[in-house]
Amino acid sequence: MAFREASLETKAPADRVWRVWSDVNRWPEWNPDMKESRLDGPLKLGATGMINTRSGGKHDVVVTHYQEGRSFELESTAMPGTKMAIRATVAPSGSGTTITQGFEPRGLLAPVVGPLMGGMILKTFNSVLNGLKQKVESAG
């Protein structure tokens, strides 16, 4: 399956967006869907941690993609036979930055889980991206 994404423009510079978004331990400060989040060390490929969301519950995560200053991906076990990848992307654009959050179900049940959960997951992305936008625009 392919990533399904939501994007938003912010006037904040990409380096500021990256500093805020890549600080996983502070997500609950601006992400309305996040109860708790942590990485057991710095954000890098292979790092592990945990997220606890209001919409999906508590999940162990591993960083499965990392490109400094540009994007990272957290993968968690959504249910037996399925993993869920959440990707964050920061891209300079014009006088600001495009922020994109995407998800991709993976594994044996992905063809079923993706269509069933896709709409619900995308709905949370709008509030997450708006929370990030407010945080980075007020930090300047």
pLDDT bracket for residue 135 (50, 70, 90): very high
What does the pLDDT average to over 32-37? 93
* Least-confidence region, from 14-18, 45-49, 76-80, 98-102: 76-80
Kindly report the number of other CB atoms within 10 A of residue 124's CB atom. 20
**Cα–Cα–Cα angle for 65, 38, 21, nearest 5°?**
60
- 88 close to 82: Cβ distance less than 8 angstroms: no
Convert the pLDDT of each residue in 107-120 to its tens digit: 887 887 777 777 77
> What is d(CA 86, CA 11) in angstroms, rounded to the nearest whole number?
24
Topology of domain 4-138, per CATH? Alpha-D-Glucose-1,6-Bisphosphate; Chain A, domain 4 (3.30.530)
Going from N- to C-terminal start, the domains of the chain cover 4-138
What does the pLDDT average to over 45-66? 92
What does the pLDDT average to over 81-104? 92
Chain center to CA of 120: 15
